Amino acid sequence: MRIEVICTGDEVLTGKIVNTNFSYITQKLEDFGLSVAQETTVGDDRDSLLAAFMLAGERADAVIVNGGLGPTVDDLSQEIAAKAAGVELVLNKEWLVTMEAFFTKRSRVMPPNNIKQAMLPAGAEVLDNPVGTACGFAVTIGRARFYFTPGVPRELRRMIEDQIVPRLLAKAGKQTTVFLKRFHSYGIGESHADTLLAGVEALAPDGSVKLGFRAHYPQLETKLTVRGTDMDDIRAKLAPVEAEVRKRYGNFILAEDDRTLEGVVLDELAKCTGTLAIVESFTSGQIAGRLMHLPGAEKRVRRGVVARDLEEICNAVRLVQVPDAITKEAAEAVARAALDETGATHALAVLIDLDEGADRIEFAGTVCLAIATADSVASRRSSIVGGRDWVRLGAVEMGLDCLRRYLQGLSVTERIDFEKA
């Protein structure tokens, strides 16, 4: 089955916005074993839209069109869809009622130009949009089934997942139950992960589990796409593969599915009714910045302190004996002092000794970090190379992940792929 995507809108065509809707659509389809063969971007222009619809209608079996369903004059998708399908635009009274209810619920009166959003090509199948006023719909143009979706990312996502993926899977004649299992890790590079997990797919019968990766430094996402007759079947197929991935990755799995590293850290702190103090240097507040604005963080993170100068760091946490250099021992002393100074149950100190001179690919930073509690301290020394930004991003993640490991009773010193030997 050939699937194409058409993205519409001057904002995307002129680069005013980066086209993240397309990468979302194609990734989501990949997660369900469906591949996009081609993507086309055109502006809010009748001729361009019509030409793009007609061409894709000749080439493809299914086409997802994104954008152009809004109430304003430059939103042309319904009009051109009708023209390409050779039918009239007609008022869909059900959608009009849905829209009016949408406004009433928000104590507003529907502006008259929203009526345009209920004008659909005659015979179109409605694709529900529970979170907005743009009505999704499907029509046939040429030999392809076209699925029209809204440009607002939140509305698009809901429609793709609930309405379009099931229709595409049915059209492709695939077993319609598909499940995506995700693992998040820090410290294993993509090619290492690929080697490490070699053969795990074979633990499930007849290729029903597919392995994939998505690297967004410093984290790596490992995806298992499972296809089956129903969720029981999927669970049975997934179980041995999932167990093997957990075994091979070991302590490197920092979260699964929709959970995040910072969420896991806050949850672990909540479990032990702990509170945290953070001391940073070159990470410049970005460790605190990942945690402290989250709902619930106000109960868990007492204080963050940032300074670039070791003496100033010591002043901030009332450490009288200023260490001579940035070492593991210095980080331990700073973390202990932060504990005393703030009254938190846990303190994380991440100190960084940076190379001198201009930014360059060999530019390195030595990260010395420590986590202290009333009766114990753990620490780690690690050198990260790759330029100022790379060092900073890596150190933020290493600080948070070591804290996660400490809170979960795991080693904080396991070697990672991103450090210099």
Count of beta carbons in the 10 Å neighbourhood of residue 388? 15
Q: Which is nearer to a second copy, 168 or 292 (CB)?
A: 292
Maximum CA pair distance of the chain?
82
Asked if 18 touches a second copy (CB under 8 A), the answer is yes
Q: Which listed residue (161, 192, 309, 325) binds a second copy by CB under 8 A? A: 309
Q: Which listed residue (66, 78, 222, 283) binds a second copy by CB under 8 A? A: 283
Near a second copy by CB under 8 A, which window of 65-73, 88-96, 295-303, 404-412?
295-303
Asked if 420 touches a second copy (CB under 8 A), the answer is no
Near a second copy by CB under 8 A, which window of 173-181, 226-234, 303-311, 405-413?
303-311
Q: Which is nearer to a second copy, 280 or 419 (CB)?
A: 280
Asked if 385 touches a second copy (CB under 8 A), the answer is no
Q: How far is the CB of 49 from a second copy (least distance, A)?
A: 11
Calculate the dihedral angle through the C-alpha atoms of 76, 82, 83, 89, rounding to the nearest 10 degrees: -90
Q: Which is nearer to a second copy, 228 or 304 (CB)?
A: 304
Asked if 293 touches a second copy (CB under 8 A), the answer is yes
Q: Which is nearer to a second copy, 15 or 199 (CB)?
A: 15
Q: Which is nearer to a second copy, 124 or 160 (CB)?
A: 160
Asked if 56 touches a second copy (CB under 8 A), the answer is no
Q: How far is the CB of 24 from a second copy (least distance, A)?
A: 7
Residue whose token pair is 């990942």: 290
Which residues does residue 141 pair with via DSSP β-bridges, in sequence order? 144
Q: How far is the CB of 343 from a second copy (least distance, A)?
A: 9
Asked if 8 touches a second copy (CB under 8 A), the answer is no
Q: Which is nearer to a second copy, 21 or 92 (CB)?
A: 21
Q: How far is the CB of 205 from a second copy (least distance, A)?
A: 26
List binders of a second copy among 60-79 (CB under 8 A): none
Cα–Cα distance measured from residue 13 to residue 19, given in angstroms and rounded to the nearest whole number: 9
Site string for a second copy, 103-122 (x = CB under 8 A): --------------------
Q: Which listed residue (308, 325, 413, 420) binds a second copy by CB under 8 A? A: 308
List binders of a second copy among 165-194 (CB under 8 A): none
Asked if 85 touches a second copy (CB under 8 A), the answer is no
Q: Which listed residue (214, 223, 248, 328) binds a second copy by CB under 8 A? A: 214
Q: Which is nearer to a second copy, 120 or 337 (CB)?
A: 337
- Give a three-class secondary structure readout of the chain: CCEEEEEECHHHHCCCCCCHHHHHHHHHHHHCCCCEEEEEEECCCHHHHHHHHHHHHHHCCEEEEECCCCCCCCCCHHHHHHHHHCCCEEECHHHHHHHHHHHHHCCCCCCHHHHHHHEEECCCEEECCCCCCCCEEEEEECCEEEEEECCCHHHHHHHHHHHHHHHHHHHCCCCCEEEEEEEEEECCCHHHHHHHCCCHHHHCHHHCEEEEEEEECCEEEEEEEEEECCHHHHHHHHHHHHHHHHHHHHHHEEEECCCCHHHHHHHHHHHCCCCEEEEECCCCCHHHHHHCCCCCHHHHEEEEEECCCHHHHHHHCCCCCCCCCCCHHHHHHHHHHHHHHHCCCEEEEEEEEECCCCCCCCCEEEEEEEEECCCCEEEEEEEEECCHHHHHHHHHHHHHHHHHHHHCCCCCCCCCCCECC
Asked if 260 touches a second copy (CB under 8 A), the answer is no
Cα–Cα distance measured from residue 246 to residue 200, given in angstroms and rounded to the nearest whole number: 11
Q: Which listed residue (69, 168, 305, 372) binds a second copy by CB under 8 A? A: 305
Q: Which listed residue (315, 383, 387, 410) binds a second copy by CB under 8 A? A: 315
List binders of a second copy among 341-380 (CB under 8 A): 342, 359
- Written as six digits, the tokens of 76 are 């042309």
- Interface residues toward a second copy, by CB under 8 A: 13-20, 22-27, 30, 35-43, 48, 52, 55, 214, 278, 280, 282-289, 291-293, 295, 297-298, 301-309, 312, 315-316, 342, 359, 388, 392
